[in-house]
Amino acid sequence: MNRYPWWKYAILAIALLVGLIYTLPNFFGEAPAVQVSSAKATVKLDASLVPRVEQALTQAGVQADFVQLEGTSVRARFADTDTQIKARDAVDKALNPDPNDRSYIVALNLLSRSPQWLTSLHALPMYLGLDLRGGVHFLMQVDMKAALTKKADALTGDIRTLLRDKNLRHAGITRDGNNVSIRFRDRETLTAARNLLSDQLPDLLWTDAPDGSDFRLAGVLKPEAARRVQETAVKQNITTLHNRVNELGVAEPVIQQQGLDRVVVQLPGVQDTAKAKDIIGRTATLEVRLVDDSVEAAAGAAGTGPVPFGAERYVERGGAPLIVKREVILTGENLTDAQAGFDSQTQEPAVHLTLDAKGARIFRDVTRENVGKRMAILLFEKGKGEVVTAPVIRSEIGGGRVQISGRMTTVEASDTALLLRAGSLAAPMEIIEERTIGPSLGADNIAKGFNSVVYGFAAIALFMCLYYLLFGVFSSLALAFNLLLLVAVLSMLQATLTLPGIAAIALALGMAIDANVLINERVREELRGGASPQAAIHAGYERAWATILDSNVTTLIAGVALLAFGSGPVRGFAIVHCLGILTSMFSAVVFSRGLVNLWYGRQKKLKSVSIGQVWKPGPDVPAQG
């Protein structure tokens, strides 16, 4: 009765193998590496950079383990720190010929030393949290009220333009908080305006709100529209933060939304909060200007003549120089949105811009006067400008909806849209939590956490082996298997390991032994009751199972509650805690049973089991030592 069918052993073997493979990468440690990432929002990084980096390294006579593209950066791994620094200098020189105007950031970094075959199985080490590796953590609050006000402002402008275009006379438009109210002199205009506005501005809900003898129309931002505004505001802020953080050359920045209106920024390895704050808080600005296409300008662009008076020379994305007039037509403030899409007639990829009312008026005037000429959209970052795109004006554009299309791929269109949006934050942000952890403290924390687990585990295993003999050995092996599975699952999920997470691992092990104690005690009890060894093992596991399930469910309830309501470090604790309960049920019951079955299951005439002394109370027999 104590035999497993072969498939159960197979499942256990597979679980063991998978556990080993996915736990393995955590033991290789990290090797020095060089990371190349884009320094400018306009420089896009792709696989074509890999051969350039390789070439630079061979020229400098530096041997890299590998050079590869990972996400938005190219990384090269080296054997030691000396080669790493040499390589950094070589790559930096090759990619950034002008040290004052860097297109790429070349930063020192750490990469896992685990072999390629493990990486190709997606067996990657766990991320270390900031408390274990040092770095800066910011929690930022997005000012949603400001985002809504900004939206309401833009809508007010739109309303004004719409009413004027349709020749509907109003007696004043006012914005009150997120609501807009329009006064009219008569009911007919009000009805006409209401129809028009409901049709054109679906984001607002219009109601008649007569105020004394006045005819008044009140518009309220619909809840779903408000939600959309807030969502886009957070998303846009995250995009902007990504662009800015990239510049710090941080290895694995974490920029995540937390809750409805918060953004977490974690920069491992960065210690200088002041600089980080400076970069995060900086704004890039967007400007629209006209391109100077005179003969002198062409000479200036080609480098054969001076740049004409009243114009400046900028480099277009892609490398060609362009002469742009100094006069600024519009700034990023007038741009309310930029989205990638398709031309409704030609189905070509296009970028759709939305301007606010003031911007739309200026834009209409400028385009009317400059049909056939080019205009340039420039992005200024760190005081340096670059031309994002320079389209030809085909006709007068009114209404504030601008479409840029032609000679663009879909990827380019979405890049351009991103760049145009990235210029500014959708809503102001405020730092509400800030944490820095020194790198030595992090290493210290790893050692402490590791020691707690090791010594605790050793103490428990020793006790179990002494008290329950062979069954104790099985229990200890099951506990080790539990640890292996837990680390493997965490690595598979690419969870971030923190000190509370390590504490949760320790606690999970301490609690997981409960299941084995329950089983062993039950087996002893059955033996005490006079059951045969095989029957005692069977009944012991069988009867303990219900109790194990019950007790784990209650522990799990607490874990889930922590997961649902906890934040930050508590969440990390809760995730490990919950996973630990699940893996412990599997390892303590199925795995230890498998070991017992393997050992005892085949013996038909089993006389005794090694589970320590089973003391039987007898009426006459005195207690024995």
Partner 1 sequence: MEFFRIRRDIPFMRHALVLNVISAVTFLAAVFFIATRGLHLSIEFTGGTVIEVAYPQAADINKVRAAVEALNFGEVQVQNFGTSRDVLVRLPVRGDVKQTEVVGRVFDALCKAEGGSVSTQQVTTDKGESASRPVCGEVGKEPVHLQRSEFVGPSVGSELARDGAYALLATVAGIMLYLAFRFEWKFSVAGIVANLHDVIIIIGFFAFFQWEFSLAVLAAVLAVLGYSVNESVVIFDRVREAFRKFRKLNSREVIDHAITSTISRTIITHGSTLMMVVSMYLFGGATLHYFALALMIGILFGIYSSVFVAAAIAMWLGVKREDLVRQGPEKGDPDDPNAGAVV
Site for partner 1 in 561-590 (CB under 8 A): 561-562, 564-570, 573-574, 577
Of 57-65, 228-236, 331-339, 556-564, which part binds partner 1 (CB under 8 A)?
A: 556-564
Tokens of 31: 């090797």
Given candidates 283, 382, 553, 603, which one binds partner 1 under the rule CB under 8 A? 553
Distance CA 179, CA 60 (A): 64
Given candidates 192, 556, 590, 598, which one binds partner 1 under the rule CB under 8 A? 556
Our CB check for partner 1 shows the closer of 513 and 609 to be 513
Contact 548, 592 (CB under 8 A): no
Distance CA 340, CA 408 (A): 11
Tokens of 613: 């002394």
In the complex, least distance from residue 277 CB atom to partner 1, rounded to whole angstroms: 7
DSSP 557: H
Tokens of 448: 């402490």
Position 428 contacts partner 1 (CB under 8 A):
no
Position 384 contacts partner 1 (CB under 8 A):
no
Position 552 contacts partner 1 (CB under 8 A):
yes
Position 89 contacts partner 1 (CB under 8 A):
no
Instruction: Write b or e for each residue in 605-624: b if 16 or more Cβ atoms lie within 10 A of its Cβ, otherwise e.
Output: ebeebebbeeeeeeeeeeee
Our CB check for partner 1 shows the closer of 19 and 572 to be 572
Position 43 contacts partner 1 (CB under 8 A):
no
In the complex, least distance from residue 134 CB atom to partner 1, rounded to whole angstroms: 7
Distance CA 275, CA 281 (A): 10
Position 473 contacts partner 1 (CB under 8 A):
no
Our CB check for partner 1 shows the closer of 396 and 514 to be 514
- Beta pairing, strands 204-208 & 215-221: antiparallel
Of 68-76, 188-196, 283-291, 461-469, which part binds partner 1 (CB under 8 A)?
A: 461-469
Of 96-104, 207-215, 409-417, 519-527, which part binds partner 1 (CB under 8 A)?
A: 519-527
How many CB atoms sit inside 10 A of residue 595's CB?
18
In the complex, least distance from residue 484 CB atom to partner 1, rounded to whole angstroms: 17
Rg (CA), the chain: 34
In the complex, least distance from residue 524 CB atom to partner 1, rounded to whole angstroms: 8
Q: What is the footprint of partner 1 within residues 248-307 (CB under 8 A)?
A: 251, 269-275, 277
Contact 471, 523 (CB under 8 A): yes
DSSP 494: T
Tokens of 95: 């990619």
Position 470 contacts partner 1 (CB under 8 A):
no
CA dihedral 121, 125, 129, 135 (to 10 degrees): -100
In the complex, least distance from residue 537 CB atom to partner 1, rounded to whole angstroms: 17
Show the binding pattern over residues 520-549: x = contacts partner 1 (CB under 8 A), - = does not: -x--xx--------------------xx--
* CA nearest neighbour of 268 among 84, 383, 172, 133: 133
Position 615 contacts partner 1 (CB under 8 A):
yes
Of 65-73, 102-110, 211-219, 377-385, which part binds partner 1 (CB under 8 A)?
A: 102-110
Of 188-196, 365-373, 413-421, 430-438, which part binds partner 1 (CB under 8 A)?
A: 430-438
Position 482 contacts partner 1 (CB under 8 A):
no
Position 440 contacts partner 1 (CB under 8 A):
yes
Distance CA 482, CA 512 (A): 8
Show the binding pattern over residues 112-141: x = contacts partner 1 (CB under 8 A), - = does not: -------------------x--x----x-x
Our CB check for partner 1 shows the closer of 388 and 611 to be 611
* CA nearest neighbour of 289 among 439, 391, 144, 165: 391
* CA nearest neighbour of 43 among 425, 419, 407, 423: 419
Our CB check for partner 1 shows the closer of 29 and 210 to be 29
Contacts of 49 (CB under 8 A, 6+ apart): 36, 69, 74, 95, 104
Distance CA 83, CA 90 (A): 10
In the complex, least distance from residue 621 CB atom to partner 1, rounded to whole angstroms: 11
Q: Torsion-angle region of residue 356: left (phi > 0), alpha (psi -120 to 50) or beta?
A: beta
Residue 284 identity: A
How many CB atoms sit inside 10 A of residue 453's CB?
19
Position 509 contacts partner 1 (CB under 8 A):
yes
Our CB check for partner 1 shows the closer of 416 and 584 to be 584
Position 30 contacts partner 1 (CB under 8 A):
yes
In the complex, least distance from residue 517 CB atom to partner 1, rounded to whole angstroms: 5
Which helix (H) or strand (E) element contains residue 182?
A: strand 179-184
Position 321 contacts partner 1 (CB under 8 A):
no
* Count of residues making up the chain: 625
Our CB check for partner 1 shows the closer of 40 and 577 to be 577
In the complex, least distance from residue 553 CB atom to partner 1, rounded to whole angstroms: 6
Q: How many residues bind partner 1 (CB under 8 A)?
A: 95
Position 81 contacts partner 1 (CB under 8 A):
yes
Given candidates 398, 456, 582, 586, which one binds partner 1 under the rule CB under 8 A? 456
Helices 592-600 and 6-23, axial angle in degrees (round to 10): 130
Distance CA 575, CA 501 (A): 8
